[in-house]
Amino acid sequence: MKDFDLSEFLGEWQVRRRISDAQTGLVTRFQGTAQISDNAFHETGMIQFQNQRLSSQRQYLLEWGDGVVEVRRPDGSPFITLESQGIQRVVHHCGDDLYRGLFMFASNRRWAEIWTVRGPRKNYRSVSQYRR
């Protein structure tokens, strides 16, 4: 998918995520739903970590512009900017940690988000798949 209208991604999504921690060798899995509205991204579901199942959620604020969406943390501070491109890379610094993201929008029915995170106490890769 080349350029597209970001508003095509509004609505509900099924989410599956696999987080591989290189420091511990542990794998965490998430399964749930994401809701994208004109002002927020909200994800809820269950996380499987070792023998535990826990409720999990994350939320971001969204500000739509001309061909871009500013993704902000719940407190309004900046996180990343997404453009109307099929494949894009983003970088976010959080203290001593470096987050490198890859977003791949295959269609308005399927997309993926991959994060590689490195820092003094972090070394993991998170792969999320979103489907209608």
Q: What is the pLDDT of residues 62-101, one digit of tens each?
A: 999 888 899 999 999 999 999 988 899 999 999 999 999 9
Residue type, 63: E
Confidence (pLDDT) at 84: 87
Q: What is the largest CA-CA distance in the chain?
A: 45
Cβ pair 70, 60 in contact under 8 A? no
Distance of alpha carbon 9 from alpha carbon 1, whole angstroms: 13
Identify the residue with better confidence: 9 or 12.
12
Confidence (pLDDT) at 106: 85
Nearest to 8 by CA among 94, 108, 120: 108
Q: Is 85 helix (H, G, I), strand (E, B) or coil?
A: coil
**In the structure encoding, which two tokens stand for residue 67, read together?**
């061909």
Other CB atoms within a 10 A radius of the CB of residue 72 amount to: 18
Over the stretch 101-114, which tens digit does the pLDDT of each residue have? 999 998 889 999 99
Confidence (pLDDT) at 46: 98
* pTM attached to this predicted model: 0.91
Beta strands in the chain (DSSP E): 11-21, 27-36, 40-49, 52-64, 68-72, 78-83, 87-94, 97-107, 110-118, 123-131
